[in-house]
Structure 1
């Protein structure tokens, strides 16, 4: 049924685009209105492109972006603590790399949701752990998300205690992200989202191995 509706919608869009092209061709013959005709054509092309993008995703793609954004935001909150609370240069370096990788990914996923007309999670739900994605469910229900008690403990830790706690928590956090990304690869439809999911799996699996070594487990 979904496939049939999609084909019908695309056929309708194609017919609309063809009709628009004929109208624009007629307008183009009027030398006094050439600029106006060109502008309308650009708007028609942009609209068709937006429609194509909107059709190229499914509910899983939306769920992935709406879930991964607050998940990444909590990782950024945790990584931000390392600058002043960690004692290990290696932990600080890892935290910096996490920030540099995940912040742009948040912006990318936010852009997808905006283009799809979907809700974008609030700026920093990790601060109050109230979620922020559609439905208002607690963000700690997502795989690997820390609860308020865990985050409070991390905020109060320093030195080697912080290093150990940070690495232990971030391993769990990364494992959750890898799980979420795996679901997107299997069930998602939007190409860029599936590509990002693959990148998350590759990068965070490598970081999990790195963190286990820092904990003496690798």
Structure 2
């Protein structure tokens, strides 16, 4: 019976040898692997402050004058609350309160053209004046109302309205007909428009309200174009 068991014993020995070799190799490989290294976790340093020459110090003292009889005092600049900018000023109010009656007189002259003018181009110009200036009057009256003002605010400046036509001139225009009306209308409306342009330029230069500035710019631009249109209408 002994000779039959011998091949089995040899196989078992081979298996044990192979297993031992495998374990040895595995252990050798694990010994060759480098040990893991700890990652650096150093906190980065904050950036150095940037030197900005010419930038004022927000905490520098500011000298504030005192009331009459009181001494001046100093306050850090970052502790001063700037005064709010005005939403409108006297120049804005002056333009609006003067431009309303100025526009109204232009409407009076424009309404006379239909039935009196000989040149159809003059009638067309008068119609454009009616279409443009009537809504502008409503807008300007609304601007005053929302600020608690009215068209009588600043009446002392009414004498400064340039381009306004006298009552006698308006009666003469009303009585004119045909080509005489055309010439008189152009002369009077041109002077009237130039006065509006002058007032618009003052509002643009001195006013602070954005709506008034836009209105003044529109008035100046449109009425300068209408002056040229009236001149061309008579020439053609």
TM-score of the alignment, normalized to the shorter chain, above 0.5: yes
5+ residue gaps in structure 1? 11-51, 122-132
Displacement of 1:148 in angstroms is 0.9
CA contact (8 A) 2:94 2:157 kept: no
SS in 1 for 2:118: coil
Asked if residue 66 in structure 1 is aligned to residue 97 in structure 2, the reply is: yes
Asked if residue 192 in structure 1 is aligned to residue 223 in structure 2, the reply is: no
Match of residue 78 from structure 1: 109
Structure with the higher helix share, 1 or 2: 1
**Cα separation, 1, equivalents of 2:157 and 2:99:** 14
CA pair 85-214 structure 1, distance change in 2 beyond 3 A: same
Match of residue 223 from structure 2: 204
Displacement of 1:109 in angstroms is 0.5
Asked if residue 135 in structure 1 is aligned to residue 147 in structure 2, the reply is: no
**Cα separation, 2, equivalents of 1:7 and 1:104:** 38
Match of residue 121 from structure 2: 90
Match of residue 115 from structure 1: 146
Describe the superposition over 1:94-148 as per-residue Cα deviations: whole angstroms up to 9, x where unpaired. Answer: 0000010101110010011111111225xxxxxxxxxxx6436766x51110011
Q: Which runs of 4+ in 1 moved over 6 A?
A: none
Q: Greater Rg, structure 1 or structure 2?
A: 2
Describe the superposition over 1:147-194 as per-residue Cα deviations: whole angstroms up to 9, x where unpaired. Answer: 111111111111111111001110110000011000000001100110
The CA RMSD measured in Å over matched residues stands at 2.2
Count how many residue pairs are aligned between Structure 1 and Structure 2.
157
**Cα separation, 1, equivalents of 2:208 and 2:164:** 25
**Cα separation, 2, equivalents of 1:213 and 1:95:** 14
5+ residue gaps in structure 2? 1-63, 65-80
